[in-house]
Structure formats: structure tokens, C-alpha cells
A and B are shown apart, each in its own frame.
Chain A
């Protein structure tokens, strides 16, 4: 590894990737990025010339889920990404060196390739108590992030945690965990939220950078539009059942067997923007809704706080027990009002009677 050498295409060819497979990859990327006709050729042209970019992968408060997602890349396979598409110089989970040697390779990149390398951040960064709740090699995550992201060409925050704190940042957030966007200011950053993020979107973002020299267009929350521009509900294969009013009502019921809409089971597809229905998971095999489980909204802001309960349409009324849905509470409120008015009417009647008696 070390200094980038040769073009991506050259090294892919050396590894035995055929021209056909290379073009298939370029086409996949062009489709993912929703480029117009000719996009694949443009990507191919760029990758034939582009030098291999160096990439370092930082893990902070994470579960390694995005790494797992990354390892499941199949176009090209992870071996090809690691060895050929990118020069991954530091990745705690998959690198060979350990201890001081490993840390040295990280800081060598920061020193020698200042402003030229890419960083992927996985996991949240705790800020409370000086950042003591997550340290790597004795350094606080926040200090590492500031140095490594601050000197990079671009930072990719991969997964919900690196985006906005995710699960470590969920209430009551004991470690003061935040995402990269709140921890490190004034850096070139793109966010790929999701729990985990889809590796196709990571590859797409990097290919866009290599082809056009810039990061893809983003929405107001810093997420690339090619991946987060469409609502899951609008691209869902079960959408027709939603419009028809055919809903799964209990897990395993007739509707569930027939593949009806999971809306009533708390699916958060209508609240979530991501390209899951198009890209799918595990080599394009399936995705949650296709597998019969509603979307949990993992690409939505603070999803662990805002999208729960995962199996209900809306949150519960706090302080009224586990089954206090907004509708039960509201209906109770209306009934209580009606009862109160009836009591008031009776009171009026008895009042009138007594005043009439007084007049007599």
C-alpha cells in the first residue's frame, strides 16, 4: 500500500478483472448516480486515468456494522476495492498491522498526503468530559477526527452514528455523542446515513469524486441526492397495496403472506429517504420491506429517538402507560368532555329547579 501508484483500471486489469466486468461496474455506478446516457463511458474514462486514492477508515463509537456492509461489496468485490480501487491505508478491523505500527500508518497518510486522501468515519464521536468515552491509542476520538478529517480532501460520514450520533447519541446520550458534522467544523463532508449505510452508495460517492472531481450534490442534511433523494414509500414495490388499502394487520396474517403493505405494522417508509428499494442489500438480493419487515427509518435524523416505536405508526402519549396511543388518548379526551358536559347539564337542571323553588 502506501503511496498511490498507477491508475485504478491498470491495477484492476493486473488483478484479472476483465474489461467486461470493469464496464459493468461503471454502468452500475452510472445508474446509481442517475447519470444521463454516456455516464458509464465517462466514468470508465475517468477511472482509466485516475490514480488510486488513499483512504483511511476511522472507527469510533460504532458496532462495525458499516464495515460489515463494506465487506459485502460485490461490485467490485471487497478484495478488489481494498486492493485496487482504493488504497486503504488504515482500517482497524481489516488491517494487518497492530499497535504503534498501525497508528503510524494513519499519521503517515495525514503527514505525507495532506489534502489528498479520503477519510471514512464510522461511529459517533463523544464530546462529554473531554471526549474520554472513546479513545484510540490513548487519543480521544474528537482529537483524532479533528486532525485526520481536517487534513483530508474529503470526509465521508458512513452510517447513522457518524451522521448525527445515531444509537450512541440517542436519548439520554450519556457520552454526549454527536456526528462528524457537529464534532468537526469546516471540513469537506458528505453524509451517508443508514444503519448501516449501503456500500453501493459509498462506492458511488467515491466514483463521483474521481470522475467529476467533486462530491455529489447533497440535500439540506448533507446527504447525496442520488442516494437519499427519493422516499422509500414512493419507490416501494408494496406501494400499490398501500393505495388499495390492503394492509398487513398482524404478523403472519393472510395479508402478510400475500405481501401486502406494512404501513399498519409501523413501516417508516413514508418518512424515510433512501434508495433501498432500488439498490437493495446483500448483492441486490433483498431489502427489509421485500423480506416482510417494515422500514425502521434508519436513514432519518435521530432515528432511534424519532422513529420508535418501530412497530407503531406514531409514538405513544407519554405518562399514560404502554398502550396509550394518541388515538386512544384523544378519544378518551373527547369522551371525558362529553361526560363533563352531561354533568354540567344535570347541574344546570338541578340548579334551575332549586331557584324555582326559592321563587315560590
Chain B
């Protein structure tokens, strides 16, 4: 395409940092979480400390994940227009229109790619759902941990949930929501690669470097 492209700084450092730290912490949390839920390594030595280490890594990754979510929420208010909380909710007429456009494109009902400088509205809405899932994982995770370590801190972080759900239901949904997150992550990567190839604006590179090369179609 011969269109002139404009180099635009879209994803600021906190956005990229939280994205990648979350990427790794979700991998660590999933692997160790699967082990904690159904141990698949079976040491026989009394010197081993497998479950101990798994739980340690899970908790460490959990705390890291919590910090990242806090930073990202802060940045939804302090960051640039692409990071702002408004991009996650279809509040305006324009946004609802974009949501329909993007959805139609993904379902082959339209041939016009969504073209967005930041998130497409479809992505924004999906990330809002993802954010709610993240919140549930944090609260349910700390609710499960509160049985281990009762006290004010863990009651605040998630122990309060035991007043509304029984502990085994919390455990069950803590498992299930992990899979829901996987589903969203798979779709996220698939759509990102696709849009990158169609729109050619450096979408895949932008999550590393922060810049997109936009054509102007994004502002239409």
C-alpha cells in the first residue's frame, strides 16, 4: 500500500510491562496451579519439596500478578488515550458502532477491517471481561490462601469471598476461570496476528516497542 504512514506512540511502558509480566505470570500460575490441583510429578524422596516449591512459585506469581493488575488499573486513569478506562466499555454511540463493525468483520459478515489506533472496541470489551476474570482469580486465590494464613490482610484480599461462596465452590471456579482466561488468550493472539497481517500497521511489533504505523484509516 502506498498510503503514508504515521509513527504513533500507542502503548506506553506501563501497558507493555503489565502485558508481558502478566503473560509470564499466567503461564507460571497455570502450570503450578495445575500441579496444586492435581499433582502430576511424583517424587519418592523424602528430601523433595515439590508441592512446597509449586505453592511458593504460585504465590509469588500471584502477588506479582496482583501488582500488575493494580498498576494497569492505575494506568487506566493516568495513562494516554489508548490506555484509558473508557476504551474498555462501549459507552458512546461511536464505540457501539465500532463494536458491531469489528464483530461483523471477525464473522466474515463485513470486509472492512476494524482499523483502530489503540484497541478495537471488540478487543476493549473482551479485555474488560478478562479484567473481571482476573479480579475473580485474585480474590478467589487469596480466599483459598486465607485458609492457610488467616488474618486481616488475606481477609481483605479475598478471604471475604468465603462469606458468599463455600470454599470448595471457590476452588472449583478458580480452576474453571483459568480455562476461560486461556480461551480469551488464544483468541487474542489469533486476532492480533490476523489484524496485523491485514492492516499492516505493526500491531504485533507495537506490544514490544510501543509504536504503531497508522494510515489514517483509524481516525475515520
A interface residues with partner B (beta carbon < 8 Å): 231, 234, 240, 242-247, 249, 263-264, 270-271, 300-302, 306-307, 313-315, 317, 326-327, 329-331, 333-334, 337-338, 341, 344-345, 347-348, 351, 355
Please report whether the interface of chain B is mostly helix, strand, loop or mixed according to DSSP: helix
Most chain B Cβ neighbours within 10 Å, of A245, A271, A344: A245
- For B108, the closest partner residue in chain A by CB is A351
Checking B41, B148, B183 against A334 with a beta-carbon cut-off of 8 angstroms, the contacting residue is B183
Query: Considering the chains assembled together, what is the distance between the CA atoms of A1 and B147 in angstroms?
Result: 45
Q: Are B168 and A314 in contact (CB under 8 A)?
A: yes
Q: Is the C-beta of B151 less than 8 angstroms from some C-beta in chain A?
A: no
Q: How many A-B residue pairs have CB under 8 A?
A: 101
B28-60 contact mask (Cβ, 8 Å, vs A): 1 or 0:
000000100111011111111111101000000
A-B pairs, 8 with minimum CB distance: A245-B50, A330-B179, A326-B175, A243-B52, A306-B166, A245-B51, A337-B183, A334-B182
Q: Are A302 and B175 in contact (CB under 8 A)?
A: no
Q: Are A327 and B175 in contact (CB under 8 A)?
A: yes
Q: Are A245 and B190 in contact (CB under 8 A)?
A: no
Q: Are B167 and A300 in contact (CB under 8 A)?
A: yes
Query: Considering the chains assembled together, what is the distance between the CA atoms of A334 and B178 in angstroms?
Result: 10
Q: Are A306 and B175 in contact (CB under 8 A)?
A: no
- For B50, the closest partner residue in chain A by CB is A245
Checking B167, B171, B186 against A337 with a beta-carbon cut-off of 8 angstroms, the contacting residue is B186
Tell me the minimal C-beta distance from B189 to chain A in angstroms: 9
Most chain A Cβ neighbours within 10 Å, of B34, B51, B52, B169: B51
Q: Are A244 and B42 in contact (CB under 8 A)?
A: no
Q: Are A271 and B37 in contact (CB under 8 A)?
A: no
Q: Are B43 and A334 in contact (CB under 8 A)?
A: no
Known: A317-B176, A334-B186. 11 other contacts (CB 8 A): A244-B52, A247-B39, A271-B167, A306-B168, A314-B37, A315-B169, A326-B172, A327-B37, A330-B178, A347-B108, A348-B194
Q: Are B175 and A330 in contact (CB under 8 A)?
A: yes
Please report whether the interface of chain A is mostly helix, strand, loop or mixed according to DSSP: helix
Checking A264, A327, A329, A344 against B39 with a beta-carbon cut-off of 8 angstroms, the contacting residue is A264
Q: Are B176 and A330 in contact (CB under 8 A)?
A: yes
Which B residues between 141 and 184 are near A, CB-CB below 8 angstroms? 147-148, 166-169, 171-172, 175-176, 178-180, 182-183
Q: Are B167 and A244 in contact (CB under 8 A)?
A: no
Which B residues between 93 and 143 are near A, CB-CB below 8 angstroms? 108, 111
Q: Is the C-beta of B187 less than 8 angstroms from some C-beta in chain A?
A: yes
With a cutoff of 8 Å between Cβ atoms, the chain B residues found around residue A242 in the complex are 51
With A271-B147, A315-B168, A347-B108 as known contacts, state yes or no: A341 contacts B52, CB within 8 Å. Answer: no
Tell me the minimal C-beta distance from B95 to chain A in angstroms: 24
With A330-B178, A331-B179, A351-B108 as known contacts, state yes or no: A245 contacts B46, CB within 8 Å. Answer: no
With A242-B51, A333-B179 as known contacts, state yes or no: A341 contacts B187, CB within 8 Å. Answer: yes
Checking A247, A270, A315, A344 against B147 with a beta-carbon cut-off of 8 angstroms, the contacting residue is A270
With a cutoff of 8 Å between Cβ atoms, the chain A residues found around residue B169 in the complex are 306, 315
- For A332, the closest partner residue in chain B by CB is B179
Q: Are B34 and A245 in contact (CB under 8 A)?
A: no
A-B contact pairs, 23 of them (CB 8 A): A231-B147, A243-B52, A244-B49, A244-B52, A245-B51, A245-B52, A246-B42, A246-B43, A270-B147, A313-B171, A315-B168, A315-B169, A326-B172, A327-B34, A327-B37, A330-B175, A330-B179, A333-B182, A333-B183, A334-B182, A334-B186, A341-B187, A355-B111
Q: Are B48 and A246 in contact (CB under 8 A)?
A: yes
With a cutoff of 8 Å between Cβ atoms, the chain A residues found around residue B176 in the complex are 317, 326, 329-330
Q: Are B38 and A264 in contact (CB under 8 A)?
A: yes
- For A336, the closest partner residue in chain B by CB is B183
- For A302, the closest partner residue in chain B by CB is B166
With a cutoff of 8 Å between Cβ atoms, the chain B residues found around residue A302 in the complex are 166
Q: Are B187 and A337 in contact (CB under 8 A)?
A: yes
Most chain A Cβ neighbours within 10 Å, of B38, B46, B54, B169: B38
With a cutoff of 8 Å between Cβ atoms, the chain B residues found around residue A330 in the complex are 175-176, 178-179, 182
Query: Considering the chains assembled together, what is the distance between the CA atoms of A246 and B48 in angstroms?
Result: 9
Tell me the minimal C-beta distance from A52 to chain B in angstroms: 38
- For A305, the closest partner residue in chain B by CB is B166
- For A338, the closest partner residue in chain B by CB is B186
With a cutoff of 8 Å between Cβ atoms, the chain A residues found around residue B178 in the complex are 330
- For B106, the closest partner residue in chain A by CB is A344
Most chain B Cβ neighbours within 10 Å, of A231, A314, A344, A355: A314
Q: Are A249 and B38 in contact (CB under 8 A)?
A: no
Checking B43, B108, B180, B194 against A245 with a beta-carbon cut-off of 8 angstroms, the contacting residue is B43
Tell me the minimal C-beta distance from B150 to chain A in angstroms: 9
Tell me the minimal C-beta distance from B159 to chain A in angstroms: 11
With a cutoff of 8 Å between Cβ atoms, the chain A residues found around residue B54 in the complex are 245
- For B171, the closest partner residue in chain A by CB is A314
- For B186, the closest partner residue in chain A by CB is A337
Query: Considering the chains assembled together, what is the distance between the CA atoms of A300 and B167 in angstroms?
Result: 9
Tell me the minimal C-beta distance from B185 to chain A in angstroms: 9
Checking B166, B171, B172, B182 against A301 with a beta-carbon cut-off of 8 angstroms, the contacting residue is B166
With A231-B147, A244-B50, A314-B168 as known contacts, state yes or no: A341 contacts B186, CB within 8 Å. Answer: yes
Checking A246, A306, A333, A348 against B44 with a beta-carbon cut-off of 8 angstroms, the contacting residue is A246
With a cutoff of 8 Å between Cβ atoms, the chain B residues found around residue A317 in the complex are 176
Q: Are B42 and A249 in contact (CB under 8 A)?
A: yes
Tell me the minimal C-beta distance from B182 to chain A in angstroms: 5
